[in-house]
Amino acid sequence: MGEREVLLEVKGLKKYFPIKGGIFGKKTVNHVRAVEDVSFNVYKGETLGIVGESGCGKSTTGRTILRLIDPTEGSVTFEGVDLASLSASDMRKKRKDLQIVFQDPFASLNPRFKVGKAIEEPLKIFGTYSDSQRKEKVKDLMKQVGLKPEHIDRYPHQFSGGQRQRIGMARALSVQPKLIILDEPVSALDVSVQSQVLNLMQQLQEEYSLTYLFISHDLSVVKHLCDRVAVMYLGHMVELADKRHLYNEPLHPYTKALLSAVPTPNLKPKRERIILQGSVPSPSNPPSGCVFHTRCHECMDICKTEKPEMREVREGRYVACHLYNEEERTV
C-alpha cells in the first residue's frame, strides 16, 4: 500500500469537564475525564469509525476536534494547520472544511426555517454565491440527497426522520467540506431507513471525495461504512485497526466482548458470548492502571497499577493492553 495522505492528526487529546461543589457550588471539586490522551490519524478519503458504549467519550472527541468545545490538552492538526492556534474568526472560516452531522437533525434544524433556508444558511455564512445561484444550489443539493426540490418550502416537521437526516447531509455538503464528522447519524432511524441513509453517505463520499469520521455505538453500522475502526472505553482509545482485522480477530479484551454481543450471519461460526461483569466505572473516578481492569476477564497484576500505552503491535494494528507487551511487531 502506498503512503496515505494524513488529513487530520489528533495527538494527546484530553477533555476534562469540571464538577462544581463547595458551599457556593463554584469550587471545582473534581473532573469528569471524558477524553483521556487520545491520538489517531484520519487519512484522506477514508472512513474512520469510532465505536464504544454510551459515555465512552466518542462524541466529545468529535466535538473537541471541531472546537465546538475547547480541549483541555492535546493538538488537532488539519491539513498541517494546528486548529488550536487559530483565532475564533479563522476557526469559523476553517469550519467550511470540517462539517458535522448530528444524531438528531431535528434538534439541529430551526423549526421556523423552511428546509430551503436551512440548507442555504451555511452558503450565506461563507458567502459563496449570489441569491439566485444559492437557490439553484439548494435545489441541486436536495436532488443529490434524494429529496424533492419542490419541497423546498416545507418545514422540518413535515419530513420523516430519514428525510431530516438527508437535509442534515445537504447542509453539510453545501459548503464542499473535506471532512464530515458523522455523530451517530442513523441511531435515531428505523433499521430499514438506516441502510438507505448509509448507502447515500457512501455514494456522496465517492462523488465528493469526502473523508468521514463516523461515531457510533453500533458495531454493525460501523462495519457497513468504515475502513478502519477505533474502539473507545471510558475516555481512552483501546484499539485501532482496519475493519477486517478488528472484526475477524479483535485483540483487546473489551473489543472481543463488544463483538461477542453482535449477531453473526447464520453461516458463520458463532462467537462465544463474553458477558462483562459490573458496570462502567465513573469517568470522574476512573480505575488505576488499565481503566478496563475492573471488568476484564484476562486481568493480570500489572493491569491494576500500570496504564498500558497504545502500541502498534502488528502493522497498522494498535492496542493498549499488557497482554501484547511482549508481542513482536510483524511487518
> Residues in the site for ligand SF4, rule: CB under 6 A?
252-253, 290, 292-293, 296, 298-300, 303, 308, 321-323
Rg (CA), the chain: 21
Contact 115, 156 (CB under 8 A): yes
Q: Select 19 or 261, whichever has its Cβ closest to ligand SF4.
A: 261
Distance CA 246, CA 244 (A): 6
In the complex, what is the shortest distance from the CB of residue 310 to ligand SF4, in angstroms, rounded to a whole number?
Answer: 11
In the complex, what is the shortest distance from the CB of residue 239 to ligand SF4, in angstroms, rounded to a whole number?
Answer: 10
Q: Select 67 or 236, whichever has its Cβ closest to ligand SF4.
A: 236
In the complex, what is the shortest distance from the CB of residue 322 to ligand SF4, in angstroms, rounded to a whole number?
Answer: 4
In the complex, what is the shortest distance from the CB of residue 35 to ligand SF4, in angstroms, rounded to a whole number?
Answer: 19
76-82 contacts at long range (C-beta below 8 A, 24 or more positions apart): 76/8, 76/9, 76/10, 76/11, 76/13, 77/8, 77/9, 77/10, 77/11, 78/7, 78/8, 78/9, 78/179, 79/7, 79/178
Q: Select 151 or 256, whichever has its Cβ closest to ligand SF4.
A: 256
Q: Dig out the grid coordinates for 232 from the structure.
A: 473507545
Distance CA 77, CA 64 (A): 12
Burial 49-73 (b: 16+ CB within 10 A, else e): bbbbeebbbbbbbbbbbbbeeebbe
In the complex, what is the shortest distance from the CB of residue 255 to ligand SF4, in angstroms, rounded to a whole number?
Answer: 9
Q: Select 224 or 252, whichever has its Cβ closest to ligand SF4.
A: 252
Q: Dig out the grid coordinates for 33 from the structure.
A: 475525564
In the complex, what is the shortest distance from the CB of residue 223 to ligand SF4, in angstroms, rounded to a whole number?
Answer: 22
Q: Select 204 or 296, whichever has its Cβ closest to ligand SF4.
A: 296
Distance CA 199, CA 194 (A): 9
In which element (H, E) is residue 228 found?
A: strand 228-233
Q: Select 210 or 320, whichever has its Cβ closest to ligand SF4.
A: 320
Q: Are strands 211-216 and 236-242 parallel, antiparallel or unpaired?
A: unpaired
Distance CA 41, CA 303 (A): 27
Q: Select 7 or 56, whichever has its Cβ closest to ligand SF4.
A: 56
Q: Select 203 or 305, whichever has its Cβ closest to ligand SF4.
A: 305
In the complex, what is the shortest distance from the CB of residue 303 to ligand SF4, in angstroms, rounded to a whole number?
Answer: 3
Q: Select 7 or 240, whichever has its Cβ closest to ligand SF4.
A: 240
Distance CA 115, CA 190 (A): 22
Non-local (6+) Cβ contacts of 15 within 8 A are 34, 35, 57, 60, 61, 64, 69, 71, 72
In the complex, what is the shortest distance from the CB of residue 158 to ligand SF4, in angstroms, rounded to a whole number?
Answer: 49
Mutual orientation of helices 161-173 and 191-208 as an angle, nearest 10°? 10
Q: What is the DSSP letter of 308?
A: P
In the complex, what is the shortest distance from the CB of residue 276 to ligand SF4, in angstroms, rounded to a whole number?
Answer: 11
